[in-house]
Amino acid sequence: MSSLVPLYVILPLASAFLIPVFGRLVKGFQKALLTLVLLFLTILTFHLIFGGLKEPVTYQVGGWSPVEGIPIAIYLVLDGLSAFTLLIVNLIGLLATFFAISYIKRYTAQNNFFALLSLMIAGMNGVVLTGDMFNMYVFLEIAVIASYALVAFGIEKTELEASFKYQVLGGIASLLILLAIGMLYWKTGTLNLADISGILKEEPPDLFLTFTQILLISGFGMKAAMIPFHAWLPDAHSSAPAPISAMLSGVLIKAVGIYALLRLFFNMFALTYEISLVITVIGALSMVIGVFLAIGQWDLKRLLAYHSISQMGYVVIAVGMGMILMVQGGDRSVAALAIAGGLFHMINHAVFKGLLFLNAGAIEYVTGTRNLKMMGGLFKSLPVTSTTSLGASLSISGIPPFNGFFSKLIIIVAAIKGEFYLLAILAVLVSIVTLASFMKFQRYAFFNKSTFSKKIREVPFAMSLSMVVLVVLCLALSLLIFPGVREVMLTPAVDVLMETSNYATIITGM
């Protein structure tokens, strides 16, 4: 089983190498190769989650075993949390790639597009699997540097400007993370997450460690576009090609932002009330400010981008509530419920927001505009796009029976049980404003009087199929509310975060 773990990094990296070489010689090679690689990785992840992963698996790069309990190899660790996140990365990556088969025909340099997308996915898979701080940074940089190029792929003025802003702020975030890694190495003399965890447990918290944690929150918070670190996201997400917007919003901000924070603050650092409160406040600000910034937007992709900030706020407040309850010795079942709600909403957001960005790409593909005021009457002309966007809009707004309703319900119930009444009220308020925002989207895009003189036709098959699969998932993921399904997919990931010391034990055996 451990020999399968490196495939998540090796196969996308190999694709990124092979595509520029053979893509010029064999027509359609790049599209077929990346689609097959991601299909294999998605099926492998499903297999691991639904029966293949009985216990956490580690892979020691180079075969170096621990010496007297000290890990000297670079570790790749596959546990419940990493498998859950790998499913998000590779499933959304597969559907975005399939969507791009037709969408990308409007661009030149298709080889470059698919090679960069392969690198982006390899980097995110590496971040999710690595058990080493410096390699987490290396994989993170692989992912985000590829995303910088993909945001600017259309090489128009707005795209280049958005990519430049993204690079500047992303570079600052990377610098903060690298500085924090250096400080941790200075204090502990190691870069292995498990080894650092064991050393820090023997030392009381101090200002040096708190400052390091603040640097990591700032750096990864900027990668996740949490308020007040969000300035790059609206421009980058709106300027990128639609499949890349879906990947940025549906996957990247989770894998290199939220996942990294969860792994480090639950499994490496000892939880503290002050840091838990900071994370919860950032989540609450993102949830509220993001939705009010979104509702006034008329550019469809910018509207969706601001909603990404807001919806990820739900994930962060849920996890933050769980952290606070664990630190204060509160009811662990409520803490587990809050964390489960956050992870549930994380995969839900990947699906419905990925779908919404593909919907926006389909609309722009046939109309040539993202301005809602210039749309109208598309319901009859684009039956697949309009139906799937309606499903995604209902899901993000928290309307049953779609998946977004159940994850938000769990978060609100956990907030009430944990006596976080203000957060529960804010979560309900934000959901109502979200519904109003997407009612505006549906009205102006699909149900107003048509403004187009030319005949509008539905998008090609590959684009339509990707959207249909995602809207089906918006319904299918509602099954996670049932105990049997939840225990297979969500509970292993929740257990990794609740049992904070198990991660170090897996690697060191101590």
pLDDT at 28: 84
The mean per-residue pLDDT over the stretch 346-367 comes to 92
Domain boundaries, the chain: 2-508
pLDDT at 452: 65
Q: Cα(429)–Cα(290) distance, rounded to whole angstroms? A: 13
Q: How many CA atoms does the CB half-sphere of 484 hold within 13 Å?
A: 1
What are the distances in angstroms from CA 300 to CA 8, 375, 380, 403, 441? 33, 10, 19, 22, 8
Tokens at 350, concatenated: 């990947």
Specify the 3-state DSSP secondary structure of 477. helix
The mean per-residue pLDDT over the stretch 349-366 comes to 92
Q: Cα(114)–Cα(14) distance, rounded to whole angstroms? A: 12
pLDDT at 98: 93
Q: Annotate 203-247 with DSSP letters as a single string.
A: S---HHHHHHHHHHHHHHHHHTT-TTS-TTHHHHHHHS-HHHHHH
The mean per-residue pLDDT over the stretch 471-486 comes to 91
Give the residue from 228, 284, 279, 281 showing the smallest Cα distance to 258.
Answer: 279
Amino acid at 192: N
pLDDT beyond 90 at 331: no
pLDDT at 206: 81
Q: Which carries the bigger pLDDT value, residue 69 or residue 183? A: 183
Contact 507, 66 (CB under 8 A): yes
pLDDT at 303: 92
Interval 421-471: pLDDT, tens: 999 999 999 999 999 999 999 888 888 776 665 777 888 898 999 999 999
pLDDT beyond 60 at 27: yes
What are the distances in angstroms from CA 60 to CA 14, 70, 253, 398? 20, 13, 27, 43
- The angle formed by the CA atoms of residues 193, 411 and 471, to the nearest 5 degrees, is 95
pLDDT beyond 60 at 481: yes
The mean per-residue pLDDT over the stretch 253-282 comes to 91
Question: What radius of gyration do the chain's Cα atoms show?
Answer: 22
The least confident of 25-34, 212-221, 441-450 is 441-450
